[in-house]
Structure 1
Amino acid sequence: MNNPANDSHPTASTATWLAEGQSSQRDMLVSLQALKTQAETSFNIIASHRHHRPEIFEFADSIYLEPYTIAVNDNEQTAPKPDTPLMPRWQFVLEHAKTNNVKVLLTGRNGIDYEAHREKFKAAGIRLLTGATSVSSLESINDKFAFMQQCHQHNIPVAEAWRFDNADELRALLAEHGDQPLCVKPVIGIFAQGFWRLDSNKEEDKHYDSFEHLYFTEKKKISTEQFMNAYSNSLMVHKRPIPMLLMPYLSGQEYSIDVVCEYGEVLAAVTRYKTGKIQHIGYEQSVMDVVIPLIKAFNCDGIVSVQTKADDDGQHRVLEINSRPSGGIDYTTHSGVDLTQISFAYWLGLTDKPKLADIIQRIVPCQVRSIVTSVKIEEASID
């Protein structure tokens, strides 16, 4: 077999496929296995990843290793095996999806690659879930500056942002907007990589010392002078320019919203916010009043996550959409509403189309604490 996978006996039954995700693939597979038991029905659950991930694969019925090539700036040191077919990922998945009678495919982290070939998946009878329904929409979602501009066009409350591509542009923006609390983050990025709060020039901030920022890095705060110096003298930025955003720092509560949607319509959603280590799960209508028109404006489709934050006046403002399930989607199970099961049961034809009003009534607000666990990974071949 060219690809190391346990597909030597393809099933004729309906299948669903979860391709490589960012952080929630394992939890979603667990939910799907529970759905199969609860629904007393038979469907094959397929998972794929570019690396051998036994802690993920153990919850799939069939598995595949996705082909990939190493990018110049990829920090992964693992190369594909010599016999791995170096065809495009989307094509590899499509061919095996046809063989396995896949009806629903959630693309995970590589949505744009698949979205460009949506018609081919549609022709094969596969419901493709990339987070949107066009490459342009996904590109707008990924580019935070373009995303915010599009939100303005649709009159959606969104955080303000000013783009800079070099130190001179940043200095000019600071001269214009430096009289307010500010933060910076990359135009394209995930997991808060590159996000920093900047000390303002207000009198009460002048007691902060440099070592405090280095010692308490989880606060993600740095003096404006230090950031300016680091950015201006960065060899990394000089070699590979990184477009950044300067933004007002919003002081209100931040929310993460997990959303099941179809062609711009919200079918189900759960909101959550964090205080310390505790996640508060429920349904906040004032937040959803911003999220629902947002999902419609970008014609979101699949399972996505949205981040919002309130300003000084309590107005919830959109920060971003992630065009894939969040790492915390499993938290929704504690509220009595498992969004993975609700969405896939519908897309697999096991239930009727979910209605948001009905889902809201089923949500039981709760508090959740995440814990770290471990699994043993055996050295074994899957050839």
Structure 2
Amino acid sequence: MDNPENTNHNTTVAAWLAEGQSSQRDMLASLQSLKTRSDTPFNIIASHRQNRPEIFEFADSFYLEPSLNPLDDNEQPIPEAIIPRWQFVLEQAKQHNVKVLLTGRNGIDYEAQREAFSAAGIRLLTGATSVAALESIDDKFAFMQHCHLHNIPVADAWRFDNTAELDALLAEHGHQPLCVKPVTGIFAQGFWRLDSGKEEDETYDSFEHLYFTEEKKINTDQFLNAYTNSQMIHERPIPMLLMPYLSGQEYSIDVVCEYGEVLAAITRHKTGKIQHIGYERSVMDVVIPLIKVFGCDGIVSVQTKADDAGQQRVLEINSRPSGGIGYTTHSGVDLTQVGFSYWLGLTKKPDLDDIIQKITPCQVRSIMTSVMIDD
């Protein structure tokens, strides 16, 4: 589906944001704001596998991406079996004189076709510059091993694929606070703190874990029982990680980067419902070499957490913009605009030291909003 406005595809360049996880709407709104202040015109294109008018309203043109799984029975997307998603996007991007494409959630599929996009003059932003790097980022166990290899302070992790392996790991590491999470996944799906009841002066209540599920805590024996007897696990094995639970402050870091170089970044951490936005140098001392090691490219997000000694340790890289990248606008530095104004050729290459000076630390509270979707 296309809804182009008056667009001169031959002379006006365009930026394309493909389907993302949760920040596509905010980023498109930032680009529209940038467009109103720019002396150089450009067009903004969005695409998604679902019909998402609340996203598309911030685009000049939009498309439904090919998909066999639109997640909505009322939609009739182009079947991916007929044309691959990357090919569909590439063909339309050529027609719209697209200069920059941020791939969002399907980066590996696009990355495998980097040469084709480069040949069309399109700056492809997948989060890295090779399929191998993206696969290493997505596989949290491989990611942590790679960090260890390059002396990046990272959380420890031990992989298990069955109950016997988990039992052996618990016997070896059960003397410390632990947690579990899938080898691959997003939005903390499958993450649980394990409560062994061994913590000094702390009692545990299994029903409390079921009642206050936002604490993401479960009794270790009950997790073992659920995991061992899970029909889902028997039918579709899910590689998991057992990890030490780090007790310190957790940070989310939004990063604009190019071929492993950090061009701009903003750190944030939560206390209750409040996001604290700024630039923590101790956190960035870990993030900057991490981005270099993985050759990150585009707009990515990093999670770190402090151990008992206060050392920030890397938890993961997400090769896509975070859901909270829109918060950066309140700091005086809109990272979406910083990145795209450079990649579109509107401004010179960002300098991290200059960006740091422009960041005004602030506190942000997110609020729920709504939009009406016409029939």
> Is 7-16 or 297-306 further displaced after alignment?
7-16
1:165 paired residue number: 161
Contact (CA 8 Å) 1:178, 1:201: kept in 2 or not? Answer: no
- In the alignment, the residues of structure 2 paired with residue 8 and residue 24 of structure 1 have an alpha-carbon distance, to the nearest angstrom, of 24
Number of positions where the alignment pairs a residue of Structure 1 with one of Structure 2: 372
Change (3 A) 1:83 1:145: closer
Contact (CA 8 Å) 2:128, 2:259: kept in 1 or not? Answer: yes
1:66 paired residue number: 65
Alignment of 1:219-298 (within 5 A): 219-298=215-294
Aligned residues with identical type, % of pairs: 78
Deviation of 1:49 (Å): 0.2
Structure 1: tracts of 5 or more residues without a match: none
Secondary structure at the aligned position of 1:149 is classed as: helix
Deviation of 1:11 (Å): 2.8
Amino acid at match of 2:66: P
Amino acid at match of 1:5: D
Secondary structure at the aligned position of 2:45 is classed as: strand
* Structure 2 residue 73 is the aligned partner of structure 1 residue 78: yes
Contact (CA 8 Å) 1:131, 1:301: kept in 2 or not? Answer: yes
Amino acid at match of 1:29: L
Structure 2: tracts of 5 or more residues without a match: none
Contact (CA 8 Å) 2:7, 2:43: kept in 1 or not? Answer: no
Give per-residue Cα distances to partners, 1:280-320, cap 9 Å, x unaligned.
Answer: 00000000000000000000000000000000000000000
- In the alignment, the residues of structure 1 paired with residue 48 and residue 146 of structure 2 have an alpha-carbon distance, to the nearest angstrom, of 33
* Structure 2 residue 24 is the aligned partner of structure 1 residue 17: no
- In the alignment, the residues of structure 2 paired with residue 334 and residue 10 of structure 1 have an alpha-carbon distance, to the nearest angstrom, of 31
Moved over 3 A (4+): 7-10, 77-80, 82-85, 203-206
Alignment of 1:80-159 (within 5 A): 81=76, 86-159=82-155
Query: TM-score normalised to the size of structure 2?
Result: 0.97
Amino acid at match of 2:73: T
- In the alignment, the residues of structure 2 paired with residue 247 and residue 266 of structure 1 have an alpha-carbon distance, to the nearest angstrom, of 28
Deviation of 1:207 (Å): 2.1
Deviation of 1:7 (Å): 3.8
- In the alignment, the residues of structure 1 paired with residue 357 and residue 297 of structure 2 have an alpha-carbon distance, to the nearest angstrom, of 23
- In the alignment, the residues of structure 2 paired with residue 83 and residue 307 of structure 1 have an alpha-carbon distance, to the nearest angstrom, of 35
* Structure 2 residue 34 is the aligned partner of structure 1 residue 5: no
- In the alignment, the residues of structure 2 paired with residue 210 and residue 77 of structure 1 have an alpha-carbon distance, to the nearest angstrom, of 37
- In the alignment, the residues of structure 2 paired with residue 83 and residue 306 of structure 1 have an alpha-carbon distance, to the nearest angstrom, of 34
Amino acid at match of 2:291: I
Give per-residue Cα distances to partners, 1:239-264, cap 9 Å, x unaligned.
Answer: 00000000000000000000000000
Give per-residue Cα distances to partners, 1:219-247, cap 9 Å, x unaligned.
Answer: 00000001000000000000000000000
Deviation of 1:359 (Å): 0.2
Amino acid at match of 1:173: L
Secondary structure at the aligned position of 1:114 is classed as: helix
Contact (CA 8 Å) 1:180, 1:200: kept in 2 or not? Answer: no
Secondary structure at the aligned position of 1:261 is classed as: strand
Deviation of 1:81 (Å): 2.0
Contact (CA 8 Å) 2:197, 2:203: kept in 1 or not? Answer: no
Contact (CA 8 Å) 2:64, 2:77: kept in 1 or not? Answer: no
1:30 paired residue number: 29
2:323 paired residue number: 327
Contact (CA 8 Å) 1:182, 1:198: kept in 2 or not? Answer: yes
Query: TM-score normalised to the size of structure 1?
Result: 0.95
- In the alignment, the residues of structure 2 paired with residue 351 and residue 311 of structure 1 have an alpha-carbon distance, to the nearest angstrom, of 39
- In the alignment, the residues of structure 1 paired with residue 223 and residue 78 of structure 2 have an alpha-carbon distance, to the nearest angstrom, of 46
- In the alignment, the residues of structure 2 paired with residue 187 and residue 128 of structure 1 have an alpha-carbon distance, to the nearest angstrom, of 27
> Is 142-151 or 81-90 further displaced after alignment?
81-90
Contact (CA 8 Å) 1:179, 1:200: kept in 2 or not? Answer: no
* Structure 2 residue 299 is the aligned partner of structure 1 residue 303: yes
Contact (CA 8 Å) 2:249, 2:269: kept in 1 or not? Answer: yes
- In the alignment, the residues of structure 1 paired with residue 331 and residue 37 of structure 2 have an alpha-carbon distance, to the nearest angstrom, of 18
Give per-residue Cα distances to partners, 1:85-130, cap 9 Å, x unaligned.
Answer: 7300000000000000000000000000000000000000000000
- In the alignment, the residues of structure 2 paired with residue 118 and residue 19 of structure 1 have an alpha-carbon distance, to the nearest angstrom, of 15
Amino acid at match of 2:253: I
Amino acid at match of 1:241: P
Amino acid at match of 2:15: T
- In the alignment, the residues of structure 2 paired with residue 79 and residue 317 of structure 1 have an alpha-carbon distance, to the nearest angstrom, of 45
Tell me how large the CA RMSD over aligned residues is: 1.4
Contact (CA 8 Å) 2:51, 2:75: kept in 1 or not? Answer: no
Secondary structure at the aligned position of 1:48 is classed as: strand
